[in-house]
């Protein structure tokens, strides 16, 4: 595996906040609209003549609240680069902080996106024992944000020259990837289970409407 190791000047990091790619929010709105609006429109079409449309409106309200909660959680996602350390606010993580003196190295791995030739960078920030302190995935962070974190503290930066497939990525970095990347079938099972649960809910609402 061909790599390049560089070291930026060991200077005190300047305070900076990096945030996820802005277009993700717009994309999420489009996906939610495409997945939910036609379904709920069809449900209302069948429910209004039977007078059971309030049930459908309640279901729509629940989905709307869940979406607003997700947007709220996403809006707080950021990484704060400070002279004495990094503070991470993730989707489910709030104010997770580690000191700059713990940062020993960083690794940037380009990974192919699906079956295309497009790649996204994966950044791993590690301590002296190789323990993962922070990970940034190019699906959510711009290359500028990844580089800002990777070079903030002047630690050795290892850059993998050749892009890896997802399978190679899991094989070469098994201790650094997330659990759902290590066992893709679990992610598929969770997705199928979620779709099945939603389908059962919709069937129950439609059955009530027909009753």
pLDDT recorded at residue 14: 82
Q: Where are the domains of the chain?
A: 3-20+77-177, 25-74+189-210
Can you name the residues that pair with 134 across neighbouring β-strands? 125
pTM above 0.85, yes or no: no
Distance CA 182, CA 201 (A): 31
DSSP 121-158: EEEEEE-TT--EEEEEETTTS-HHHHHHHHTTT--EEE
Supply the angle between the helices 53-75 and 184-210 in degrees, to the nearest 10.
150
pLDDT recorded at residue 9: 56
Answer left, alpha or beta for residue 130, where phi above 0 means left and psi between -120 and 50 means alpha: left
pLDDT recorded at residue 78: 95
pLDDT recorded at residue 209: 45
Cβ atoms of 105 and 157 within 8 Å: the answer is yes
Terminal-residue alpha carbon distance, the chain: 63
**How would you write the pLDDT of the chain (211 residues) with one tens digit per residue?**
656 666 555 556 788 999 999 888 778 778 777 777 887 887 788 777 777 778 778 888 888 888 888 888 888 999 999 999 999 998 888 889 999 999 999 999 999 987 778 899 999 999 999 999 999 999 899 999 999 999 999 899 999 988 998 888 888 888 888 766 766 656 677 766 766 676 666 666 666 544 4
Distance CA 70, CA 153 (A): 32
Cβ atoms of 122 and 108 within 8 Å: the answer is yes
The matching CATH number, chosen from 3.40.50, 2.30.29, 1.20.81, 1.20.1300, for 3-20+77-177 is 2.30.29
Burial class (CB in 10 A: 0-12, 13-18, 19+), 170: middle
pLDDT recorded at residue 159: 92
């Amino acid at each position: 595996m061909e790599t390049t190791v560089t070291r930026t000047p060991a200077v005190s990091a300047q305070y900076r906040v990096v945030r996820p790619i802005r277009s993700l929010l717009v994309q999420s709105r489009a996906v939610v609209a495409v997945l939910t609006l036609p379904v709920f429109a069809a449900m209302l079409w069948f429910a209004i003549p039977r007078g059971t449309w309030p049930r459908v409106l309640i279901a729509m309200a629940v989905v709307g609240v869940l979406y607003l909660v997700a947007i709220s959680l996403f809006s707080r996602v950021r990484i704060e680069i400070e002279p004495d350390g990094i503070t991470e606010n993730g989707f489910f993580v709030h104010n997770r902080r580690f000191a700059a003196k713990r940062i020993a190295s960083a690794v940037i791995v380009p990974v192919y996106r699906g079956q295309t030739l497009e790649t996204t960078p994966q950044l791993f920030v590690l301590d002296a024992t190789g323990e993962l302190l922070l990970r940034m995935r190019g699906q959510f962070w711009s290359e500028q944000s990844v580089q800002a974190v990777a070079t903030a503290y002047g630690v050795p930066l290892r850059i993998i020259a050749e892009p890896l497939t997802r399978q190679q990525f899991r094989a070469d970095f098994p201790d650094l990837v997330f659990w759902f990347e290590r066992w893709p079938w679990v992610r598929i099972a969770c997705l199928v289970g979620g779709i099945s649960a939603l389908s059962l809910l919709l069937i129950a609402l439609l059955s009530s409407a027909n009753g």
